[in-house]
Chain A
Amino acid sequence: MAEPLQTRTRLEPDLRTRQPERRRGLGSEIWKHRYEYLAISPFYLLFAVFGLFPIAFSMYLSFQRWDGIGEMTFNGVNNYRFMLTDVEFWKAVGNTLLIWVYSTVPMLFSALVVAFLLNASFVKFRTFFRIGYFLPNVTSLVAVAIIFSTLFSNNYGLLNYILTQSGLNAVEWLNKTWGIQLAVSLMVVWRWVGYNAVIYLAGLQSIPTVLYEAAKIDGASGIQSFFRITVPILRPIILFTVITSTIGGMQIFTEPQVLVGNDGGVSGGGLTIVLYLYREAFVNNYFGYGAAVGWGMFVLIALFSIVNWKLVQGKSDT
């Protein structure tokens, strides 16, 4: 007797509540899934406060003149006008682009070569090599910049020692625009070759070996199959690395800041866009102007990402 009663009491409330719930519609649907919404809500709350709001606020701020403490005063487009006419800003843009080119091209090329070698079946100790190549990537940039400053030191650096030993003249690396840019680029290359190689390697491992065997039967050389098989199949992954290196390259800050200071060195060769933004906003306290520079930078990054996308994508049509 107890059993049917129990099933009835267990079912009935369910039936009773389900009916009106349908009528109440979305509200009750949401209530029914309250735990799910609760579980995902931290992300959206935090994004609203620390992601979305700052972006909107930075737009507002970029039209203000503000030192961070006193009154904000409306400044119209003057921040932008100043930015576009400021020699230092354009210098920072130029420096950033040069460092990006100097670093990205050799970095991605070396990464591809390293990945290709690590993928060859006859190569031994592959895991060991992968770990060694990846190690620079987990090292802090501050430490890397300090280490590189001793390699590039004007008077006592290892590089100058090697130069003078081979009968050449020592170079004042950190007093020259191109010297600073070379040092920063080398830091980037050193730190990211292994990372990109690992990503390329994963792509390479997904290419069926049959393709290479077929090419070989057709008489293709190693280099031919590299450019005709490997590169085309890897194109989406190469695109990914180009885009991430562009975004990363446009945001270079720590390397020059630790290496040559807030002004980008004696010659200013290390003044990148983020370093410029940092200096104007947080050293000189031009907060409104800093926000405007942030938007300028955003436009540049978007522009370059699109150009890169088109370039790498465009190739696949031919």
Chain B
Amino acid sequence: MAVTKWKSALLHTGLIAGFLLSIFPFYWLAVMSTRTTPEIYSYPPKLWFGTQLFDNISRVIANIDFFGAFMNTLFVASTCTVLVLFFDSLAGITFAKYHFPGKKGLFVLLLATMMAPAQLSLVPSFVIMAKFGWVGTYKALIIPGMVNAFGIFWIKQYAEESIPSELLDAGRIDGCGFFRLYWNISLPILRPALSFLGAFTFIGVWNDYLWPLIILTDESKFTLQVALSSLNGIYTTDYSMVIAGTLLAVLPLILLFLFISKQFISDIAAGAVKS
């Protein structure tokens, strides 16, 4: 496409403006976390970095068990991710590469469950968790989320195209059982699909708020998002600390995202367009 220099400059300017709007709140967060509370509330607002970052962070650590909340979140998110990867890939590969009676119907049923509205099960799920005695425990966060229809669908699509049936047959002739075919032959091939599903799950669990807010009762078990919102609700006078806590809570995920962003974004696009 031949475009005049003017037009190109104009469009680039528009793109850059949108880009700056996208990342400005992060900049603003970073600036404020280096300021004192009076400075945050001062007029005119400070638009450049101050010197209080470490002071603010040390108050976050003194006031809430930030490290504990971080480890809790890391634990819940990684456990969930590992379990999702295991169960989703096992089911996805089975749907993609094996034949068994009722397969088609079961898969349609699986797709249909994706339509099940989440807001309906909020109250009863809590009641079930209470009956199981799981309220206030990580079981309530991990077990319902350890396998999901989206992931199975995603892995199935990928496995159908990428795992050659001949390879599985060869494995069978060599005496591989079902689980070895899965673990030693199929899983390595699925690595790209697994890394996307893993990142997707991890980010989702890390950022989850409503369900942990309902389930977690004990402060020592709070995940980052719940701890952060309680910090925001309680310490209104020490706002710079709240902001520094917010920075600490988003930073790990931003770094993770920047690390995997290129592949992650194209996988999101592929998944959406396919379905």
Binary per-residue interface labels of chain A (252-281) against chain B in the complex, 1 for a CB within 8 Å, 0 otherwise: 011001100100000000000010011001
Q: Which residues of A contact B265 (CB under 8 A)?
A: 130-131, 134, 198
* Cβ–Cβ contact A139 & B253, under 8 A: yes
Chain B residues 154 to 208 lying within 8 A of chain A, measured CB to CB, are: 177-179, 182, 203, 206-207
What are the residues of chain B within 8 A of A138 when measuring CB–CB? Answer: 203, 207, 253-254, 257
A25-38 Cβ-contact flags toward B at 8 Å (1 or 0): 01001100101110
Whether the Cβ atoms of B28 and A61 lie closer than 8 Å is no
Is B272 located at the chain interface by the 8 A CB criterion?
yes
Q: How many residues of A contact B (CB 8 A)?
A: 92
Prevailing SS type, chain A contact patch: helix
Best-surrounded residue of A47, A130, A140, A278 (most CB of chain B within 10 A): A140
- Report Cα–Cα, A136/B182, bound state, in Å: 36
Contacts of A306 in B (CB 8 A): none
B62 interface hit (Cβ, 8 Å): no
Question: Nearest A residue to B44 by beta-carbon distance?
Answer: A161
Residues B22-62 near A (CB distance < 8 A): 22-23, 25-26, 28-29, 32, 40-45
Q: Specify which chain B residues have a CB less than 8 angstroms from the CB of A51 in the assembled complex.
A: 113, 116, 121
Contact of B1 among A26, A58, A121, A291 (CB under 8 A): A121
Given A140-B249, A161-B43, answer yes or no on A124-B121 (Cβ-Cβ < 8 Å): no
The stretch from A10-18, A87-95, A200-208, A308-316 touching chain B is A200-208
Name the residue among B40, B122, B242, B257 with the largest chain A CB count within 10 angstroms: B122
Tell me the interface secondary structure of chain B in the complex. Answer: helix
Task: Decide yes or no: A294 and B143 within 8 Å by CB, A143-B250, A151-B28 being known contacts.
Answer: no
B268 contacts which chain A residues (CB < 8 A)?
195, 198-199
Within 8 A of A (CB), among B71-96: 87, 90-91, 93-95
CB neighbours (8 Å) of A98 from chain B are: none
- A residues near B42, Cβ cutoff 8 Å: 156
- Whether a CB of chain B sits under 8 angstroms from the CB of A39 is yes
| Cβ-defined contact, A282 with B214, below 8 A | yes
B209 within 8 A of A: yes
Q: Which of B211-243 contact A (CB under 8 A)?
A: 214, 224-225, 228-229, 232-233, 239, 242-243
Please, which residues of chain B bring their CB within 8 A of the CB of A44? 106, 109
Measured between alpha carbons, how far is A292 from B123 in the docked complex, in Å? 10
Measured CA separation A155–B225 after assembly (Å):
26
A40 to B94 CA separation, bound complex (whole angstroms): 7
Chain A residues near B28: list those with CB within 8 A: 147, 150-151, 158
- Report if B146 contacts A (CB, 8 A): yes
- Considering the chains assembled together, what is the distance between the CA atoms of A290 and B120 in angstroms? 9
List the A side residues contacting B130 at CB < 8 Å: 68
Interchain CB contact under 8 A, A251 and B118: yes
Closest to A247 in B: B117
Q: A275-305 CB contact bits vs B (8 Å, 1 = yes)?
A: 0011001100001001100110110010000
Cβ contact within 8 Å between B25 and A290: no
Nearest chain B CB to A27 CB, angstrom units: 11
Contact A123 B15 (CB under 8 A): yes
Chain A residue numbers with a CB within 8 Å of B246 are 142-143, 146-147
Contact (Cβ within 8 A) B262 A131? yes
Contact A146 B228, CB 8 Å, known A68-B130, A110-B18, A135-B257: yes
Choose among B32, B120, B128 the residue that contacts A298 (Cβ–Cβ < 8 A).
Answer: B120
Contact of A202 among B8, B209, B269 (CB under 8 A): B269
A148 touches B110 (CB 8 A): no
**A114 CB contacts on chain B under 8 angstroms:** 15, 18
User: How far apart sit A199 and B40, CA to CA, in the bound complex (Å)?
Assistant: 37
Of the residues B101, B109, B152, contact of A30 by C-beta under 8 Å: B101
**Roughly how many angstroms separate A206 CA and B152 CA in the complex, as a whole number?**
26
- Pick 30 A–B contacts, CB within 8 A, sort by A: A26-B101, A33-B100, A40-B94, A42-B147, A43-B148, A46-B144, A54-B121, A55-B116, A120-B11, A135-B23, A136-B25, A142-B225, A143-B246, A144-B25, A146-B228, A146-B243, A150-B239, A151-B25, A156-B40, A195-B268, A198-B265, A199-B269, A201-B269, A202-B270, A202-B272, A278-B210, A291-B120, A294-B122, A298-B117, A298-B119
Given A36-B94, A142-B249, A277-B123, 14 other A-B contacts at CB below 8 A? A50-B128, A51-B113, A54-B120, A120-B11, A130-B265, A135-B23, A146-B243, A150-B239, A151-B25, A156-B41, A198-B269, A274-B210, A290-B123, A298-B119
The 5 closest A-B pairs by CB, nearest first: A202-B269, A54-B121, A33-B100, A54-B124, A35-B178
Binding site for A on B (CB under 8 A): 1, 3, 8, 11-12, 14-15, 18-19, 21-23, 25-26, 28-29, 32, 40-45, 87, 90-91, 93-95, 98, 100-101, 106, 109-110, 113, 116-128, 130, 143-144, 146-149, 152, 177-179, 182, 203, 206-207, 209-210, 214, 224-225, 228-229, 232-233, 239, 242-243, 246, 249-250, 253-254, 257-258, 261-262, 265-266, 268-270, 272-273, 275
